[in-house]
Structures are given as structure tokens and as C-alpha cells.
Amino acid sequence: MSTVVTNIRIDKELKAQATELFNDLGLTLSQAFTVFLKQAVLHHGLPFAVTRPPSKELLEAIKEGEQLAHDPNAKTYASHEELLEELGIKI
């Protein structure tokens, strides 16, 4: 297998953190990049999900929902229709 030299620009601190991590795993930075590239080729894309972190509003709504789910005094409905009726929505 022939190799080529590739130059990439990355943040100095990020490189230091990644190098330390990969060294702990028994890999050089070059070997870690090779693993990443092989996995990208195998998966025909990034080998992991790339997503945005949840918004502050979503996290607050999840917290509120969890609180309601554990509140024995929270109003509940036996059916979707019962909820619509209480809201005054006719379908």
C-alpha cells in the first residue's frame, strides 16, 4: 500500500486533545485519520450522525413534560376526543 502526505489545518488545542486521546487508545493521529477515512468510505458518508444539539426551548419543553408526567395532580384525558372537547374544538 503506497501512502501520500496530506496537510490539513486544525485548531492547535483540538489537535493536542485528539493526539492525547488517540495515544491513550494506542493510535497515532495519522492512524486515527486513516480509521476515520476507511469508515467514511465503508459507510458512504460520515461514520456517525451529525446533528444539532437540542435547542434551549426543546430542553425546557422536555423538562416540563417530564414534570407533568410525574405530577399526580396533572390533568389527564381518556381520549383525544375528550381533550378536544375540553378545548372547545369540534371536528
Q: Tens digits of per-residue pLDDT, 33-56?
A: 999 999 999 999 999 999 999 999
**pLDDT confidence tier of residue 91, bands split at 50, 70 and 90:** confident
Tell me: the pLDDT tens digits for 9-19? Answer: 999 999 999 99
pLDDT of residue 90: 85
- pLDDT computed for residue 38 by the predictor: 97
Quick check: is 77 in a domain? yes
Whether 47 contacts 37, CB under 8 Å: no
H-only helix segments in 1-91: 12-24, 29-43, 56-69, 80-87
Residue 73 belongs to a domain? yes
Average pLDDT, the chain: 94
Output the nine-digit C-alpha cell for 4: 501520500
For residue 69, is it within any domain? Answer: yes
Say how many domains are in the chain.
Answer: 1
Q: Does residue 81 lie in a domain region?
A: yes
Specify if 14 maps to a domain: no
Q: Is residue 36 part of a domain?
A: no
Domain carrying residue 68: 56-87
Inside any domain, residue 5: no
Per-residue b or e along 61-85, where b marks 16 or more CB atoms closer than 10 Å to that residue's CB: eeeeeeeeeeeeeeeeeeeeeeeee
Lowest mean pLDDT across 24-28, 41-45, 70-74: 70-74
Residue 20 lies in a domain: no
